[in-house]
Amino acid sequence: MSSPLSPMDIQQLNSAEKLDLISQLWDSLPNSLESVPISDSHREELDRRLAAADKNPDAAIPWAEVKSLLRRES
């Protein structure tokens, strides 16, 4: 295994190299949610938000609209 990159090393990467690094990190994560520990408080918050979404599905904003709003603000 190669040695980890320092913050200074990361700063020297170009955008494409940084995106490749992100991709490698993402792909290295476990495929199973069970292997990622979630605290009880986080689990309760997730359950609360899912219940709220189920109770009022019309309150959601479609992803395409969110992307459009974000692009206008940047």
CA atoms of 13 and 25, how far apart (whole Å): 15
Residue 10 lies in a domain: no
Contact (CB, 8 A) for 20 and 10: no
pLDDT band at residue 1 using 50, 70 and 90 as cut-offs: low
Residue 51 lies in a domain: yes
Residue 28 lies in a domain: no
Residue 56 lies in a domain: yes
Residue 45 lies in a domain: yes
Residue 18: pLDDT above 90?
A: yes
21-72 per-position pLDDT tens digit? 999 988 888 777 677 788 999 999 999 999 999 999 999 999 999 999 999 9
Residue 19 lies in a domain: no
Residue 2: pLDDT above 80?
A: no
**Cα–Cα nearest to 28, from 51, 1, 53:** 1
Q: What is the DSSP letter of 33?
A: G
As for how many domains the chain has, the answer is 1
Residue 26 lies in a domain: no
Domain extent at residue 70: 40-74
pLDDT at 74: 66
Pull the structure tokens for residue 23: 């991709």
Residue 69 lies in a domain: yes
pLDDT at 42: 95
Contact (CB, 8 A) for 57 and 63: no
Whether this prediction's pTM lies above 0.85 is answered by no
